[in-house]
Structure 1
Amino acid sequence: MRLRHIEVFNAVMLTGSVSGAARLINVTQPAVSRILQHAELQLGFALFQRAKGRLVPTPEALTLAPHVERLFAQLDEVQRLAGNLKLGQSEAELRVVTVLALSFEMLPRAIKRFRAKHPDVPISIKALHSPQIVSSLVLQEADIGFLFSSAGHAALAQEPLAEARIVCVAPKGMLPARVVKRGKVALSDLDSTPVVGLEVQDPVGRSLNQACREAGVGLQLPLTVQTYHAALASAHHGLGIALVDTCTAASADITWVDVLALEPQIPVPVHALRPAGKPGSVAARAFVRCVQQTLAEVI
């Protein structure tokens, strides 16, 4: 199938008719019919059957459809990247993408530090999942990204900024007073205490699960949440112990919870990412340094 065949096929799949496809891609109805017939002739099988004035896709067309959808998604990415390259890096705005955990406490502190030297640079912050952060940077829709896991992508350069760790955030009274006074708790001490679980595909969740396997500890997980701050909020409401990174724990309200070190130490590396081959603006480099300094203060 040629690209024009695929475009017409996709338009008919979306609209269900020749007239709708013609309007969608801004061509005449005879042109749509002609291109569709040519595509079917080349393929050697029918793509659509007529039924009550509509075009119904054949089983072969339904098999092709998801592959065509993926192709158009990739074409959209190419167009977006081309548009971003044409515009060049925005001089008016510093575009930052980050994991949600860093957006509550770390980045506001870093922005305050950054504002002292760069008061006139507008900043946009988007909190995304790690794959979305990588995609935004690859498409050059963002200037800097911050995440907890490394990203081995050829189009991206990454820089380690700090090594956070997982800490224990316990509702007041849930742990023995002697443990709280000591200021640290062993992972094995939590096997009979309700713990708020993190999704296994999450970087911190993966590290925690691995540490539990190595220590032979089976945690009680009556509640599992998607984000670290949801785990922290659950601890604030007494639902269980939250095992979260030190950046998230910086938002803990110590009138409601106790924050303790966790043994063994489970590292949570923080990385800065940017498009490879681009040195970045002065403002972008300065912002990364402000984030690094803020992380050093907290961690």
Structure 2
Amino acid sequence: MNLRQIETFEAVMRCGTASRAAEVLGVTQPAVSRTLGELEQSIGFPLFARIRKRLIATPEARSLYEVVKSAFDGIDVIRGAAARIRDQGSGEVRVASLSAVGHSLMPKAIAIFQKRHPSTRITLLVLPSRDVRDLIASGEFDLGLAADLIDTTNVVHETFLARDALCVLPAGHELSSKAVIAPMDLDGVPFIAYLPEDRFRQRVDAVLTAAGAVPKIAVETALAPTALALVSAGVGATLASPHAISGFDQSKIVVRPFRPGVEARVLLLLPSDRPKSQLVRDFIDALMAAR
């Protein structure tokens, strides 16, 4: 017994005649008859009585057909699932993001993605970059965006964003009259800094130190939205990436270019132990379109 014989038997039972089954299968009627004969020899009992050049199904054939039909129904289910996976992916995308883009760029990307995949469920967690990296390295999440301060061992990574930071001031700040902020403008000025281990903080410190500027550190924080909220409350100035600022209420802040430039970088992370699904590829395309 082989699959071709079973397919022929199923077609004859479904179509009612050998000639119609031959048309469906794209073979000749003699080929159908020959294949049925081979199947009968294989299983050891007759499936059809040949009466007046017609094939009449035996009771044994009808019993066998019930089993075959169930099997073919299962194959149809598999085909349908394969088609859905081809067209829509596995049905879920799990994304983790640092806060600097998790409240600004990421919602735009999700909106773009859902226009193409409206039925796909998305899980989004906004976390510190180290936690984003851990979720991707463990394979629990499909992709992530993180600051470049992380350990990139055991993750696939590439630069997703690299933009010069902007200076953010409280509304009405004395420096808001300047078109461009320089390092010495921040000398002695209350300043919201990131944590010392943050690579962006280290790049900012290097630029300030080279110019001889020493801001008055008012608060150290790990997250850009927190730094911006502190600026909005009048606590001090800060430097932040354009993508972090774009998702923030700018009614109580003033944004100015900062020279020389200090680059803020975001990495795209993927698990290292599995290929990208079509859904993940499409989500990455949405992220690129949202930049």
Which TM-score applies when normalising by structure 1?
0.63
Give how far 1:282 is off. Answer: 1.3
Identity %, equivalent residues: 22
Task: List gaps (5 residues or longer) in structure 1.
Answer: 1-89
Please tell me whether the aligned partners of residues 234 and 242 of structure 1 are also in contact (alpha carbons under 8 angstroms): no
Counterpart CA distance in 2 for 1:109 and 1:161 is 15
Bigger radius of gyration among the two? 2
Please tell me whether the aligned partners of residues 150 and 271 of structure 1 are also in contact (alpha carbons under 8 angstroms): no
Partner-residue secondary structure (3-state), 2:174? coil
In structure 1, the partner of 2:22 is none
The correspondence of residues 214-233 of structure 1 with structure 2, limited to 5 A, is 214-233=210-229
Give how far 1:222 is off. Answer: 1.8
- Provide Cα deviations, 1:214-253, integer angstroms capped at 9, x if missing partner: 3222111122223111110011111111211111111333
Q: 2:286 aligns with which of 284, 290, 293?
A: 290
Please tell me whether the aligned partners of residues 204 and 245 of structure 1 are also in contact (alpha carbons under 8 angstroms): no
In structure 1, the partner of 2:3 is none
For 1:178, the aligned partner's letter is: S
Please tell me whether the aligned partners of residues 162 and 292 of structure 1 are also in contact (alpha carbons under 8 angstroms): no
Partner-residue secondary structure (3-state), 2:181? strand
Task: List gaps (5 residues or longer) in structure 2.
Answer: 1-88
Please tell me whether the aligned partners of residues 171 and 241 of structure 1 are also in contact (alpha carbons under 8 angstroms): yes
For 2:290, the aligned partner's letter is: T
Stretches (4+) displaced over 3 A:
150-154
Please tell me whether the aligned partners of residues 145 and 273 of structure 1 are also in contact (alpha carbons under 8 angstroms): yes
Give how far 1:210 is off. Answer: 2.2
In structure 1, the partner of 2:117 is 118
For 2:123, the aligned partner's letter is: S
- Provide Cα deviations, 1:164-219, integer angstroms capped at 9, x if missing partner: 2221111111134530xx2x211221113211121111232222122222322211
Partner-residue secondary structure (3-state), 2:247? coil
Partner-residue secondary structure (3-state), 1:123? strand
Tell me: CA distance 1:119–1:203, structure 2 relative to 1, closer, same or farther (3 Å). farther
Give how far 1:290 is off. Answer: 1.6
Tell me: CA distance 1:178–1:108, structure 2 relative to 1, closer, same or farther (3 Å). same
In structure 2, the partner of 1:271 is 267
For 1:261, the aligned partner's letter is: P
Counterpart CA distance in 1 for 2:133 and 2:249 is 32
For 1:96, the aligned partner's letter is: V
For 2:262, the aligned partner's letter is: I
Q: 2:205 aligns with which of 209, 234, 240?
A: 209
Quote the RMSD (CA, aligned, Å): 1.9
Counterpart CA distance in 2 for 1:252 and 1:154 is 32
Counterpart CA distance in 2 for 1:212 and 1:221 is 13
Counterpart CA distance in 2 for 1:186 and 1:125 is 37
- Provide Cα deviations, 1:86-139, integer angstroms capped at 9, x if missing partner: xxxx92320111112211111011111111111111111112222222221221
Tell me: CA distance 1:91–1:177, structure 2 relative to 1, closer, same or farther (3 Å). closer
Partner-residue secondary structure (3-state), 2:214? coil
Question: How many pairs align?
Answer: 203
In structure 1, the partner of 2:186 is 190
Please tell me whether the aligned partners of residues 101 and 247 of structure 1 are also in contact (alpha carbons under 8 angstroms): yes
Counterpart CA distance in 1 for 2:113 and 2:234 is 36
Which TM-score applies when normalising by structure 2?
0.65
The correspondence of residues 157-176 of structure 1 with structure 2, limited to 5 A, is 157-176=156-175
Give how far 1:152 is off. Answer: 5.5
Counterpart CA distance in 1 for 2:149 and 2:233 is 33
Counterpart CA distance in 2 for 1:227 and 1:150 is 13
- Provide Cα deviations, 1:26-80, integer angstroms capped at 9, x if missing partner: xxxxxxxxxxxxxxxxxxxxxxxxxxxxxxxxxxxxxxxxxxxxxxxxxxxxxxx
Please tell me whether the aligned partners of residues 148 and 270 of structure 1 are also in contact (alpha carbons under 8 angstroms): yes
